[in-house]
Amino acid sequence: MHHDPGAFAVRSAASIYQTFEKIKTDLEAKSGGRIEVQHLPGSAMGGDREAMESMMLGDVQFSPQSTSAAFQFVPELAVFDMPYTLPSDPAKLEKLVNDSAFAGKVKEALDRKGVHFGGILNAGFRNLTTNVEVHSPDDIAKNSLRIRVQENPIHIALWRALGAAPTPVAFPEIYGALQQGVVDGQENPYGHILSQRFYEVQKYVVNTRHIFLANINLINKDWFDSLPADLQATVDEVLRETTAYQWQLQASLEAKQREELAKHLTIIDLTPEQLAAFQAKTTDVEKLIREQAGDEIVDALLADVKAAN
C-alpha cells in the first residue's frame, strides 16, 4: 500500500455518506495530497463481515461499522448493545462514547486486535415499527409479533425477553420480509426507516429507543502506525473534526426525520412509565453482554453513565 501518497480506501453506509465525503475532502486537503482517499459507499466491499475482514487484513484501511456487527471480531464492542443504558442527551452521549474513561477502554480493546480507534458516529436510537399498536411488552407478546433482528445473540435475547419472536433477516431483505408478512415488524433508527422506505409496509413507529446504533470508525493499525507522525496526527485530527460534524448533522436531522415519518406512519411516544416496563423486561440481557464483552468494559460504561447522569 502506498503511503506517500497514502491510499486510504473507505467503505461506508449511505446513512453517513455525507460525513465520509467530508473525510475524503478534508484528509486529502490537510495532508497536502500525501493521502489519497477512495470512498467506496454502500456495499462496494461486500457486507459487514467482508468489510471488517478486509480492514483487518489491510486491503481496506478504514471501515465504519455498526458495533452490533463488529463485536464478532472485537467482543468488547457488545457493550454498546446494553439496552436502556446510554444517556439520551446527545451532548452527554457524545462525550461518553468518544471522550471518557469508557472510550479509553474501547480504544484499548481495538488496539489489542490491531485496529486504531477513529471515533464513534451517531446513527440514532433503534425504534420499533409494526402494523399493530404497541405501548407495552404485553402488546408484543399477545400479538406474537415476529420482529426482524440482526443475526446477533444479544438482539435475539432482547426481543425474546420482550415477548417477540425475533427473526434474523439480512438488511437488504427486510422490506420484502415485511411486505410478504414473513415478519411483523423491525427495529432501526429513523434514518434507516426513511431511506429503506419501511413506512410503505408498516403503520406505526414506536419510540422504544432501546439501543443506540453506534457507528464506529475502524482503521487498520499497521497502516496507521506505518504513517509518518505528522500524517498520523492529521488522520486523528480529521476524524475528530468530522466526528463532531456528524453529531451536529444528526442532531439537526432527527427532528426533520420525525416530521417526515409522521407523514407516513402513526408515531407512538412511550411515557416514562411505559419505557420502564420495557427496561424491566430486558435487565437479564446485561448478563449475556458481560459474557461477551467482559466485566471490565461493562463496569467502565456503567460508571461513566452514572457520572454523566
> What is the domain class of 127-211+257-308 according to CATH?
alpha beta
Q: Do residues 80 and 32 make contact, with C-beta atoms less than 8 angstroms apart?
A: no
> What is the domain class of 6-122+213-253 according to CATH?
alpha beta
- Decide if pLDDT at 85 tops 50: yes
Among 61-65, 228-232, 242-246, the range scoring the smallest mean pLDDT is: 61-65
> Three-state SS string across 186-216, please?
EEECHHHHHHCCHHHHCCEEECCCCCEEEEE
Mean pLDDT of 193-206: 96
Q: Do residues 164 and 145 make contact, with C-beta atoms less than 8 angstroms apart?
A: yes
Q: What is the pLDDT of residue 165?
A: 98
- Decide if pLDDT at 43 tops 70: no
Q: How does residue 41 score in pLDDT terms, banded at 50, 70 and 90?
A: low
> Residue 64 half-sphere exposure, CB side, CA atoms within 13 Å?
28
- Decide if pLDDT at 263 tops 70: yes
d(CA 155, CA 166) in angstroms, rounded, equals 8
> Residue 65 half-sphere exposure, CB side, CA atoms within 13 Å?
32
Q: What is the pLDDT of residue 130?
A: 98
Give the Cα-Cα-Cα angle 230, 233, 234 (nearest 5 degrees). Answer: 85
Q: What is the pLDDT of residue 253?
A: 87
Nearest CA among 123, 119, 1, 9 for reference residue 55: 9
- Decide if pLDDT at 300 tops 50: yes
Q: How does residue 40 score in pLDDT terms, banded at 50, 70 and 90?
A: confident
Q: How does residue 3 score in pLDDT terms, banded at 50, 70 and 90?
A: very low
Q: What is the pLDDT of residue 229?
A: 97
d(CA 133, CA 140) in angstroms, rounded, equals 9
**Pairing status of strand 115-125 against strand 127-130:** unpaired
Q: How does residue 16 score in pLDDT terms, banded at 50, 70 and 90?
A: confident
Environment class of 107 (CB within 10 Å of its CB; exposed 0-12, middle 13-18, buried 19+): middle
Q: What is the pLDDT of residue 296?
A: 97
User: Where do runs of H (alpha helix) occur along the chain?
Assistant: 17-30, 48-57, 67-70, 90-98, 101-112, 137-142, 153-161, 174-179, 190-195, 221-226, 229-261, 272-281, 285-293, 295-308
Q: What is the pLDDT of residue 9?
A: 52
The structural domains of the chain, with segments of one domain joined by +, span 6-122+213-253, 127-211+257-308
CA gyration radius for the chain?
19
Helices 101-112 and 90-98 meet at what angle, rounded to 10? 40
- 6-122+213-253 and 127-211+257-308 share one CATH topology? yes
- Decide if pLDDT at 59 tops 60: yes
- Decide if pLDDT at 22 tops 90: yes
DSSP letter at 60 equals S
Note the pLDDT tens digit of each residue in 133-165: 999 999 999 999 999 999 899 999 999 999 999
Report whether the peptide linkage leading into residue 5 is cis, meaning its omega lies within 30 degrees of zero. Answer: yes
d(CA 144, CA 267) in angstroms, rounded, equals 21
Cell of 229: 507522525
Q: What is the pLDDT of residue 1?
A: 31
